[in-house]
Structure 1
Amino acid sequence: MKISYECGPCFLRQAKEAMDLSTDDENLKMEIMEDIFNYLSDVFKTGTNSNGTGSKMHRMIIERTGCEDPYFKEKIEGNEIALKYLPDVKRILNEDDSLENYVKIAIIGNILDFGAFTLDDDIESVIKQSLEKELTIKHIEEFEQSLKTHNEVLYLVDNTGEIVFDKLLLNKIKEYGLNITIAVKSVPILNDATKKDAIDAGLDEFGEIVEIGCGTVGYVDSEISDEFREIFNSHEFIISKGMGNYEGLSEIDLSSKEVYFLLCAKCYTISRHIGVDLHDMLLFKQ
């Protein structure tokens, strides 16, 4: 997906957060911010790729500060929030174990995104309110048909914390007899899940965990490894979690695949692109 004018302040907010999490050196942060301003002044134009721009910016911060995982503590916090609400989630599923409810819970997990929310946001309240919401777009019948007709699925995960809720949907998918391949980032970026994060959360119980070959904001087709491209190309059925993966996949030809996006529209640029309201929860087929 391409940047909008609203991406500018979002990039700068993320840069400030990442720097504050990476170093206490005020002089270094000033130097890095100057570099980021110079970088954005060169690339921030109509038609620029949003994921590639954000990825480059975060790499600049990592390289200059030497902090390889700025959101390490925030990822732990995300897991703790998810685990705190897991009993409520399981209670809901015990009352209604429909596929739609499993999908809804997985999408609610997508709210745990420190790339879209500030560190001061009351994320717990957002989750509680979201548990009462319905999906705005729900291609649930098509989704279940895909589960019934395919033998394998590629599941692109998004954030640490969110993956705690993904486990519930993955377990439901296993009931349909599919072989699941779970794709994660190769190196840390924001609070995105890496292989270690996925294994720590127990996702390896449900399928093979593979790395995409890079650490990018969302999916960036030009940066995935040859090994992952082979995996991606071999799958006709793909489940994509989160806005970043949607932003990247919406730029490539998916006509030969059945791709389902599960996300919460957490910014105006995304919501306008899809045609929904801010904070709507969505399951839709590409």
Structure 2
Amino acid sequence: MKVYYECGPCFIRQAKEAMDLATDDNELKINLIEDIFDFLADNYTQNASSNKLGSVIHRMIKEKTNCSDPYSKEKVIGNKIALEFLPMIEKLLEEDNSLENYIKIAIVGNILDFGALGLDFNPQEFILSNLDKNLAINQIDQFKEAISNHKDVLFLVDNTGEIVFDKLLIEKLIELGLNVTVALKEKPILNDACMEDAKSVGLDEIAKLTTIGTDSIGLIYDEASQEFKNLFDNSDFVIAKGLGNYEGLTETNLEGKDVFSLLCVKCSAVSKDIGIGERENILLKL
């Protein structure tokens, strides 16, 4: 996805939050924000890729504050919130165990995003308000057709916490006969899930785990490891969670693939890009 004008203020808001999490050194933060302003002045153009710019900014913050995981506490909070909701979610799935309901639950999990929504939003309230919502874009028929046409699926996860709900959908996909490979971040960025986060909720017990080989926001194909590129190139069925993966995949050659984006539309830029209202939940074939 190319940047929209409102991506600029969002980059600065995210940068401030990440710096506040990473360091208390005010002088360092002033120097860092100067560097970020300079970077955006040189690179913020209409044809710029939104998640490429965001990835550079967060890497600058991690490197210059010497904090490899600024969102480490938020990741723990995300898992805690998801696990608190799990009994309620499992009860809902007992009442309606349709594939569509598993998809809706996985998308509701995408709300656990401290990068897109900031540090001050109330995730519990947001989750509860979304549990009964219908999908604003619902391409479930195409999704079911892809399941019937493929034996393997590559599942690109997004955030820690969210992966608790993803696990439920992955178990459903396995029940339907699919072999699932889950792709995670190689190193921390924002509150995105890494290998240790996936293992902490038992994803390694049900699916094959791999990484994209880097710490980009979403998937930036050119930055991924050669091992992951080979896997992606040979994957005809891909499920991608979240805004970052949507942003990256819309910049990637998807010819000949069945690729589905599962997300909650959490910003006006993605809302404009898709043509759907903010805070809507969607299952979209890219």
TM-score normalised by L of structure 2: 0.99
In the alignment, residue 269 of structure 2 is paired with which amino acid? T
Alignment correspondent of 1:40: 40
Alignment correspondent of 1:103: 103
Alignment correspondent of 2:84: 84
Query: Any idea what the Cα deviations from partners look like across 1:225-271, whole Å, max 9, x if unmatched?
Result: 10000000111000010010010000122121000110011001101
Alignment correspondent of 1:155: 155
Alignment correspondent of 1:69: 69
| Separation (CA, whole Å) in 2 of partners of 1:264 and 1:144 | 20
Please state whether the residue corresponding to 1:115 is helix, strand or coil.
helix
In the alignment, residue 112 of structure 1 is paired with which amino acid? L
Cα distance, 1:22 vs structure 2 = 0.4
Alignment correspondent of 1:279: 279
Cα distance, 1:206 vs structure 2 = 2.0
Alignment correspondent of 1:270: 270
Cα distance, 1:95 vs structure 2 = 0.6
| Separation (CA, whole Å) in 2 of partners of 1:101 and 1:59 | 36
Cα-Cα RMSD = 0.8
Alignment correspondent of 1:50: 50
In the alignment, residue 188 of structure 2 is paired with which amino acid? P
Query: Is structure 2 residue 229 aligned with structure 1 residue 229?
Result: yes
| Separation (CA, whole Å) in 1 of partners of 2:52 and 2:137 | 28
Please state whether the residue corresponding to 1:127 is helix, strand or coil.
helix
Please state whether the residue corresponding to 1:210 is helix, strand or coil.
strand
In the alignment, residue 55 of structure 2 is paired with which amino acid? S
Cα distance, 1:148 vs structure 2 = 2.0
In the alignment, residue 44 of structure 2 is paired with which amino acid? F
| Separation (CA, whole Å) in 1 of partners of 2:201 and 2:31 | 37
| Separation (CA, whole Å) in 1 of partners of 2:145 and 2:176 | 10
| Separation (CA, whole Å) in 2 of partners of 1:273 and 1:40 | 21
| Separation (CA, whole Å) in 2 of partners of 1:243 and 1:61 | 21
Matches within 5 A, 1:241-256: 241-256=241-256
In the alignment, residue 282 of structure 1 is paired with which amino acid? I
In the alignment, residue 257 of structure 1 is paired with which amino acid? K
Cα distance, 1:197 vs structure 2 = 0.7
| Separation (CA, whole Å) in 1 of partners of 2:8 and 2:210 | 32
Please state whether the residue corresponding to 1:64 is helix, strand or coil.
helix
| Separation (CA, whole Å) in 2 of partners of 1:176 and 1:91 | 20
| Separation (CA, whole Å) in 1 of partners of 2:277 and 2:219 | 23
Alignment correspondent of 1:199: 199
In the alignment, residue 281 of structure 2 is paired with which amino acid? M
Cα distance, 1:204 vs structure 2 = 1.0
In the alignment, residue 163 of structure 2 is paired with which amino acid? I
Q: What is the percent sequence identity of the aligned residues?
A: 53
| Separation (CA, whole Å) in 2 of partners of 1:110 and 1:76 | 16
In the alignment, residue 186 of structure 2 is paired with which amino acid? S
| Separation (CA, whole Å) in 1 of partners of 2:206 and 2:124 | 27
Please state whether the residue corresponding to 1:192 is helix, strand or coil.
coil
Query: Is structure 2 residue 170 aligned with structure 1 residue 170?
Result: yes
Specify every segment of 5 or more residues in structure 1 that has no aligned partner in the other structure, as ranges.
Answer: none
Cα distance, 1:150 vs structure 2 = 0.8
| Separation (CA, whole Å) in 1 of partners of 2:59 and 2:215 | 9
Cα distance, 1:61 vs structure 2 = 0.5
Runs of 4+ in 1 over 4 A off after TM superposition: none
Query: Any idea what the Cα deviations from partners look like across 1:131-183, whole Å, max 9, x if unmatched?
Result: 12111111112211211221100000000000000010001001111111100
In the alignment, residue 268 of structure 2 is paired with which amino acid? Y
| Separation (CA, whole Å) in 1 of partners of 2:98 and 2:176 | 13
Please state whether the residue corresponding to 2:61 is helix, strand or coil.
helix
Query: Any idea what the Cα deviations from partners look like across 1:34-80, whole Å, max 9, x if unmatched?
Result: 11111111111111111110011011111110000000000000011
Alignment correspondent of 2:134: 134
| Separation (CA, whole Å) in 2 of partners of 1:262 and 1:186 | 22
Specify every segment of 5 or more residues in structure 2 that has no aligned partner in the other structure, as ranges.
Answer: none
